[in-house]
Protein backbone atom coordinates (compact mmCIF):
# COMPACT_ATOMS: atom_id res chain seq x y z
CA UNK A 1 0.00 0.00 0.00
CA UNK A 2 1.29 3.42 -0.93
CA UNK A 3 1.90 6.03 1.73
CA UNK A 4 -0.64 8.80 1.83
CA UNK A 5 0.18 12.49 1.74
CA UNK A 6 0.12 14.53 4.92
CA UNK A 7 -2.88 16.77 4.20
CA UNK A 8 -6.01 17.87 6.02
CA UNK A 9 -9.09 15.73 5.16
CA UNK A 10 -11.24 18.56 3.79
CA UNK A 11 -13.44 18.79 0.72
CA UNK A 12 -11.28 21.56 -0.74
CA UNK A 13 -8.17 19.39 -0.35
CA UNK A 14 -10.08 16.51 -1.96
CA UNK A 15 -10.93 18.64 -4.99
CA UNK A 16 -7.31 19.78 -5.28
CA UNK A 17 -6.03 16.20 -5.08
CA UNK A 18 -8.47 15.02 -7.73
CA UNK A 19 -7.28 17.77 -10.08
CA UNK A 20 -3.65 16.89 -9.28
CA UNK A 21 -4.37 13.21 -9.95
CA UNK A 22 -5.97 13.97 -13.32
CA UNK A 23 -2.96 16.10 -14.28
CA UNK A 24 -0.53 13.40 -13.13
CA UNK A 25 -2.32 10.68 -15.11
CA UNK A 26 -2.37 12.85 -18.22
CA UNK A 27 1.31 13.76 -17.76
CA UNK A 28 2.20 10.11 -17.23
CA UNK A 29 0.57 9.13 -20.51
CA UNK A 30 2.32 11.93 -22.40
CA UNK A 31 5.72 11.04 -20.91
CA UNK A 32 5.15 7.34 -21.63
CA UNK A 33 4.27 8.08 -25.26
CA UNK A 34 7.30 10.36 -25.53
CA UNK A 35 9.53 7.66 -24.03
CA UNK A 36 8.26 5.06 -26.51
CA UNK A 37 8.88 7.39 -29.45
CA UNK A 38 12.35 8.30 -28.16
CA UNK A 39 13.24 4.62 -27.88
CA UNK A 40 12.02 4.05 -31.45
CA UNK A 41 14.14 6.96 -32.74
CA UNK A 42 17.11 5.75 -30.69
CA UNK A 43 16.90 2.28 -32.26
CA UNK A 44 16.82 3.82 -35.75
CA UNK A 45 19.84 6.00 -34.98
CA UNK A 46 21.69 3.07 -33.39
CA UNK A 47 21.23 1.08 -36.60
CA UNK A 48 22.45 4.06 -38.64
CA UNK A 49 25.42 4.45 -36.29
CA UNK A 50 26.33 0.77 -36.68
CA UNK A 51 26.09 0.98 -40.48
CA UNK A 52 28.22 4.13 -40.67
CA UNK A 53 30.83 2.74 -38.26
CA UNK A 54 31.15 -0.45 -40.30
CA UNK A 55 31.58 1.51 -43.54
CA UNK A 56 34.10 3.89 -41.96
CA UNK A 57 36.16 1.07 -40.48
CA UNK A 58 36.22 -0.82 -43.79
CA UNK A 59 37.20 2.23 -45.83
CA UNK A 60 39.75 3.34 -43.25
CA UNK A 61 41.33 -0.12 -43.24
CA UNK A 62 41.52 0.05 -47.05
CA UNK A 63 43.20 3.47 -46.88
CA UNK A 64 45.70 2.23 -44.29
CA UNK A 65 46.56 -0.74 -46.50
CA UNK A 66 47.23 1.70 -49.35
CA UNK A 67 49.49 3.81 -47.14
CA UNK A 68 51.35 0.70 -46.03
CA UNK A 69 51.90 -0.37 -49.66
CA UNK A 70 53.04 3.15 -50.59
CA UNK A 71 55.56 3.18 -47.74
CA UNK A 72 56.88 -0.21 -48.78
CA UNK A 73 57.59 1.12 -52.28
CA UNK A 74 58.92 4.57 -51.34
CA UNK A 75 61.28 6.02 -48.81
CA UNK A 76 59.70 7.46 -45.67
CA UNK A 77 60.97 10.97 -46.38
CA UNK A 78 59.29 10.89 -49.83
CA UNK A 79 55.91 10.09 -48.26
CA UNK A 80 56.39 12.73 -45.56
CA UNK A 81 57.33 15.39 -48.12
CA UNK A 82 54.38 14.47 -50.32
CA UNK A 83 51.90 14.85 -47.44
CA UNK A 84 53.58 17.71 -45.58
CA UNK A 85 51.64 20.52 -47.27
CA UNK A 86 47.96 19.75 -47.91
CA UNK A 87 46.54 21.99 -50.61
CA UNK A 88 42.80 21.61 -49.87
CA UNK A 89 40.82 22.52 -46.79
CA UNK A 90 37.50 21.36 -45.49
CA UNK A 91 35.21 23.27 -43.18
CA UNK A 92 32.78 21.70 -40.75
CA UNK A 93 29.45 23.51 -40.44
CA UNK A 94 28.07 22.80 -36.97
CA UNK A 95 24.38 23.45 -36.37
CA UNK A 96 21.86 22.28 -33.79
CA UNK A 97 19.09 19.83 -34.58
CA UNK A 98 16.08 18.71 -32.57
CA UNK A 99 15.10 15.11 -31.85
CA UNK A 100 12.10 14.77 -29.50
CA UNK A 101 12.92 18.10 -27.81
CA UNK A 102 16.56 17.07 -27.38
CA UNK A 103 19.05 19.52 -28.90
CA UNK A 104 21.50 17.40 -30.90
CA UNK A 105 24.47 18.27 -33.15
CA UNK A 106 23.97 18.58 -36.90
CA UNK A 107 27.33 18.75 -38.65
CA UNK A 108 28.14 18.89 -42.35
CA UNK A 109 31.35 19.09 -44.40
CA UNK A 110 31.92 22.16 -46.54
CA UNK A 111 34.80 21.46 -48.91
CA UNK A 112 36.80 24.36 -50.27
CA UNK A 113 36.99 24.44 -54.06
CA UNK A 114 40.50 25.79 -54.47
CA UNK A 115 43.55 23.54 -54.29
CA UNK A 116 44.65 20.29 -55.86
CA UNK A 117 43.50 16.93 -54.57
CA UNK A 118 47.04 15.52 -54.77
CA UNK A 119 49.63 18.13 -53.66
CA UNK A 120 52.68 16.30 -54.98
CA UNK A 121 54.33 15.03 -58.13
CA UNK A 122 52.92 11.74 -59.41
CA UNK A 123 56.40 10.67 -60.42
CA UNK A 124 57.56 10.59 -56.81
CA UNK A 125 54.95 8.24 -55.28
CA UNK A 126 52.92 5.18 -56.19
CA UNK A 127 49.27 4.88 -57.19
CA UNK A 128 48.42 3.32 -53.83
CA UNK A 129 49.06 6.65 -52.12
CA UNK A 130 46.74 8.40 -54.57
CA UNK A 131 43.98 5.89 -53.85
CA UNK A 132 44.49 6.18 -50.10
CA UNK A 133 44.28 9.98 -50.18
CA UNK A 134 41.15 9.84 -52.32
CA UNK A 135 39.57 7.33 -49.90
CA UNK A 136 40.40 9.43 -46.81
CA UNK A 137 39.10 12.58 -48.52
CA UNK A 138 35.75 10.92 -49.20
CA UNK A 139 35.79 9.38 -45.74
CA UNK A 140 35.94 12.74 -43.93
CA UNK A 141 32.26 13.43 -44.57
CA UNK A 142 31.27 10.03 -43.16
CA UNK A 143 33.50 10.55 -40.14
CA UNK A 144 31.77 13.82 -39.32
CA UNK A 145 28.35 12.23 -39.88
CA UNK A 146 29.31 9.28 -37.67
CA UNK A 147 30.43 11.63 -34.89
CA UNK A 148 27.11 13.52 -35.05
CA UNK A 149 25.00 10.34 -35.05
CA UNK A 150 27.00 8.78 -32.21
CA UNK A 151 26.70 11.93 -30.09
CA UNK A 152 22.96 12.05 -30.83
CA UNK A 153 22.62 8.43 -29.67
CA UNK A 154 24.44 9.24 -26.42
CA UNK A 155 22.29 12.31 -25.75
CA UNK A 156 19.08 10.40 -26.52
CA UNK A 157 20.13 7.56 -24.20
CA UNK A 158 20.65 10.05 -21.36
CA UNK A 159 17.28 11.72 -22.04
CA UNK A 160 15.50 8.34 -22.24
CA UNK A 161 16.91 7.44 -18.81
CA UNK A 162 15.78 10.80 -17.35
CA UNK A 163 12.33 10.38 -18.89
CA UNK A 164 12.09 6.82 -17.55
CA UNK A 165 12.77 8.11 -14.02
CA UNK A 166 9.99 10.70 -14.39
CA UNK A 167 7.56 8.05 -15.64
CA UNK A 168 8.44 5.71 -12.77
CA UNK A 169 8.13 8.53 -10.21
CA UNK A 170 4.63 9.30 -11.46
CA UNK A 171 3.57 5.66 -11.88
CA UNK A 172 4.93 4.21 -8.64
CA UNK A 173 5.07 7.18 -6.24
CA UNK A 174 2.98 10.25 -7.02
CA UNK A 175 -0.14 8.63 -8.54
CA UNK A 176 -0.44 5.85 -5.89
CA UNK A 177 0.13 8.34 -3.05
CA UNK A 178 -2.49 10.71 -4.45
CA UNK A 179 -5.01 7.88 -4.96
CA UNK A 180 -4.42 6.58 -1.42
CA UNK A 181 -4.85 10.08 0.00
CA UNK A 182 -8.07 10.59 -1.95
CA UNK A 183 -9.42 7.30 -0.54
CA UNK A 184 -8.40 8.34 2.97
CA UNK A 185 -10.05 11.78 2.72
CA UNK A 186 -13.21 10.26 1.18
CA UNK A 187 -13.47 7.75 4.05
CA UNK A 188 -12.89 10.50 6.60
CA UNK A 189 -15.54 12.74 5.07
CA UNK A 190 -18.02 9.85 4.91
CA UNK A 191 -17.25 9.01 8.53
CA UNK A 192 -17.77 12.63 9.56
CA UNK A 193 -21.10 12.73 7.70
CA UNK A 194 -22.26 9.55 9.44
CA UNK A 195 -21.22 10.95 12.83
CA UNK A 196 -23.03 14.20 12.10
CA UNK A 197 -26.16 12.26 11.06
CA UNK A 198 -26.09 10.20 14.27
CA UNK A 199 -25.72 13.35 16.39
CA UNK A 200 -28.64 15.00 14.61
CA UNK A 201 -30.81 11.95 15.17
CA UNK A 202 -29.90 11.92 18.86
CA UNK A 203 -30.70 15.60 19.19
CA UNK A 204 -34.01 15.04 17.40
CA UNK A 205 -34.88 12.16 19.73
CA UNK A 206 -34.01 14.27 22.78
CA UNK A 207 -36.22 17.09 21.53
CA UNK A 208 -39.09 14.69 20.85
CA UNK A 209 -38.73 13.10 24.29
CA UNK A 210 -39.10 16.52 25.93
Residues 66, 64: Cα–Cα separation, whole Å: 5
Instruction: Write down the mean pLDDT value for the chain.
Output: 82
Which structural domain range is residue 161 located in? 11-205
Q: Which of 210, 142, 144, 170 is nearest to 20 (CA)?
A: 170
Q: What pLDDT band is residue 130 in, cutting at 50, 70 and 90?
A: low
Position with higher pLDDT, 202 vs 111 = 202
Write down the pLDDT at residue 79. Answer: 62
At 63-119, the pLDDT tens digits run 888 777 777 776 666 666 666 656 667 778 888 888 888 888 888 877 655 555 555
Residue 155: is its pLDDT beyond 70? Answer: yes
What are the tens digits of pLDDT across the range 185-200?
A: 999 888 888 877 777 7
Q: Check residue 113 and give its pLDDT.
A: 54
Question: Where do runs of H (alpha helix) occur along 74-100?
Answer: 76-83
Mean pLDDT score, 147-158: 93
In a domain, residue 6? The reply is no
Rg (CA), the chain: 35
Q: Check: CB of residue 143 under 8 Å from CB of residue 135.
A: no
Q: Is the dihedral of CA 20, 23, 26, 29 positive or negative?
A: negative
Residue 120 and residue 81 in contact, taking contact as beta carbons nearer than 8 Å: yes
36 lies in some domain: yes
pLDDT at 1: 59
Please name the residues in contact with 159: beta carbons below 8 A apart, sequence gap of 6 or more: 38, 100, 102
Pick the closest to residue 144 from 185, 100, 98, 91 (CA basis): 91
Average pLDDT over residues 116-124: 54
- Tell me whether strands 102-111 and 90-99 are parallel, antiparallel or unpaired: antiparallel
pLDDT band at 174 (very low <50, low <70, confident <90, very high): very high
Within 8 A by CB and 6+ apart from 57, the residues are none
CATH number of residue 17's parent domain: 1.10.287.3240
CB of 108 within 8 A of CB of 93? yes
Q: Which of 158, 167, 155, 157 is nearest to 32 (CA)?
A: 167
Confidence bin at 45 (pLDDT 50/70/90):
very high
Look at residue 160 in the predicted model and tell me its pLDDT: 94
Give domain status of residue 2, yes or no.
Answer: no
Looking at per-residue pLDDT, the higher value among 100 and 54 belongs to 54
Determine, yes or no, domain membership for 196.
yes
> What pLDDT is recorded for position 101?
83
The burial of 196, by beta-carbon neighbours within 10 Å (0-12 exposed, 13-18 middle, 19 or more buried), is given as: exposed
Number of domains in the chain: 1
5 found inside a domain? no
Q: Does residue 4 belong to any structural domain of this protein?
A: no
Query: pTM here?
Result: 0.73
Confidence of residue 168 (pLDDT cuts 50, 70, 90): very high
Is the pLDDT at 133 greater than 90, yes or no?
no
Domain assignment present for 156: yes
Per-residue pLDDT at 48 exceeds 80:
yes
**Domain assignment of residue 76, yes or no:** yes
Give the helix ranges, DSSP H, for the chain: 11-73, 76-83, 127-169, 175-209
Amino acid sequence: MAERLNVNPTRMELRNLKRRLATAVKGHKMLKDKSDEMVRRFVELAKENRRLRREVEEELAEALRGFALARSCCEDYVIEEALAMPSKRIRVQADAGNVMSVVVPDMKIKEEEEGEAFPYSFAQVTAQLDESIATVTKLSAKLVQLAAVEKTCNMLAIEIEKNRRRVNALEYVMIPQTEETIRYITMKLDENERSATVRLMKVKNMIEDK
